[in-house]
Structure 1
Amino acid sequence: MIRPVPSRRHTIADDLRRQIVTGHFKAGERLPSEAQLATRYEVSTPTLRSALALLQAEGLVEKIHGSGNFVRHPLRRITYVGGGAAPYAHTATGAPLRLTVRTTNVQAQDPLTALMHVPFGSPLTEFHCLSHQGKSPQGLARIYVPRDLVAADLAEESPEALTTRLAALRPPLAEVQERLSARLPTPEEATVLRISSSLAVLSITRVATDATGRAVEAALLVLPGDRSDALFTAHPPTKERTSKE
């Protein structure tokens, strides 16, 4: 049987992978520039970038815009826990993720108008949240809350206390809907999360409503697919609870 000849990008990726696995290139180390690697392997820059994209998709290499390609530290899986009163994610070891939050006042536009059932231009507050494990970004979330439910001093809260404070300010929740899908990242998401544009992400859309049916929070979460799981736990009614009802 005739075996297919490996393409140049696969040959280059195999060689770089071997050098990473054997420790020639160490975790956190910057790889030679793309121009240097293209010259070394005698290929065009697009072919070299295609080879690097294979390693980025495997989680071995991350590209930092303006800085270059770096050997990624060993990935730790993160788990998104759904079904609760607030979006929550943790590492496989249970260690909390470090958050950075940027707060902005915005006006509702599509698709938020349909998602939250509010008129175009309705005042919202956006919380742009980026979670880190060490220096490596792990997840991106955009949380939108009607502006009348946000206290004036909320921006002064620490990122760790933000979720708790938001939960205290809003009315009791009557329903939480979460939609999970897999898709390719947008160019902005790929840059922020330092992942390949060919790596699938978990996209989670979460809308919380109160007893009146008003959407009091909408969260759009993006998690890299090479290190993320989503866990949803259901509690079926027991016979005892059903008989009481």
Structure 2
Amino acid sequence: MASRHHDIADNLRHQITTGRIKPGERLPSESGLAGQYKVSTATLRRALGVLQGEGLVEKIHGKGNFIRRPLRKITYVGGWGTLAPRTAADADLRITVRTTAMGARGDLTALLRVPNGSPLTEFLCLSYEGKSPHSMARIYVPHEMTPTAVLGDGLPCARAEASFLVLRPPPAEVRETVSARLPTPEETSALRISSALAVLAITRVAADTTGRVVEAALLVFPGDRVDAVFTTHHVINERKTQG
């Protein structure tokens, strides 16, 4: 027998999918909905959690629960860490950037292959489609390698959500580690997603021709908003036959 919170989720889902409740509309307060369905607030929140996990409802702390507007998927192209031009343009992403000087610590020392405390520049990039967060990127560069223009106006980092590259020219080697996992509390809050919605996490490390790491990026996409494409190119050597 289905539990009560599933019944409530089914009822709200039907209202959403039939258009009775419109995208962007704010739901009644949780206590109000609990009274309407004659259940406890805890049961009501479990029902909303189901819909949040499905991407139908978005909870904005301090404001309430809203019907999520359908978000278009973007395509992440592996190898050089770019977004497909078509999806990057179609999604019409707005990007916020926060730049911070910090010292290397924890996993960053291993990723960037630098001693503990080495000065770094961190770029925290959040992309939005409308008012809804779309993805999150933390990009780290050795401080001495950060171009002055980046520190001054942040424009290269503003392109980071489209290219995920702070430095130019492109690095000689890029290594990406891709995993699906549950979001951290910080990611849940920043991306306004359910803690039960899996995210696609990409750790991207770029090195120059000497093997020195010039950039490390930690990229996080809600699993329902991105497709990742990786293409392998095989080089075939052709020998000319001499007559």
Q: Above 0.5 in TM-score?
A: yes
**Deviations 1:170-192 (CA, angstroms, capped at 9, x unpaired):** 6x622110000000001110111
- The one-letter code of the counterpart of 1:134 is G
Deviation at 1:167, TM superposition (A): 2.5
> CA-atom RMSD, angstroms?
2.1
CA shift in 2, pair 1:66/1:94, >3 Å: same
Q: State the AA in 2 paired with 1:68.
A: G
Q: Partners in 1 of 2:103 and 2:196 — Cα distance?
A: 32
CA–CA distance in 2 between the matches of 1:167 and 1:92? Answer: 23
Q: Secondary structure at the match of 2:197?
A: coil
What residue ranges of structure 2 are gaps of 5+ in the alignment?
Answer: none
Does the 8 Å contact 1:179/1:206 carry over to 2?
yes
The C-alpha deviation readout for 1:20-79, integer Å capped at 9, x for no partner, is 112221100111111111111111222111111111111111111111110001121121
Aligned counterpart in structure 1 of residue 50 of structure 2, from 26, 48, 54: 54
Identity %: 60
| SS, match of residue 167 in structure 1 | coil
1:113 corresponding residue in structure 2: 109
Counterparts of 2:189 and 2:85 in 1: how far apart (Å)?
Answer: 22
Give the aligned partner of residue 132 of structure 1: 128
Question: 1:141 and 1:106, CA in 2 relative to 1: closer, same or farther beyond 3 A?
Answer: same
- Would you say the 8 A contact 2:78–2:230 is kept in 1? yes
- What secondary structure sits across from 2:172 in the alignment? strand
Deviation readout 1:84-119 (Å, 9 max, x if unpaired)? 1x4436674842522111100011011101111111
Q: Which runs of 5+ in 1 are unaligned?
A: none
How many residues get paired?
Answer: 235
Measure, in 2, the Cα distance between the counterparts of 1:89 and 1:147: 29
Deviation at 1:160, TM superposition (A): 3.8
Preserved CA contact (<8 Å) 1:80 1:90: no
The answer to whether structure 1 residue 26 and structure 2 residue 27 are counterparts is no
Give the TM-score normalised by the residue count of structure 2.
0.89
Tell me which moved more, 197-206 or 96-105: 96-105
**Distance in structure 2 (CA, Å) of the matches to 1:218 and 1:201:** 19
| Cα shift at 1:227 | 2.1
Q: TM-score w.r.t. structure 1 length?
A: 0.89
Q: Does 1:88 align with 2:86?
A: no
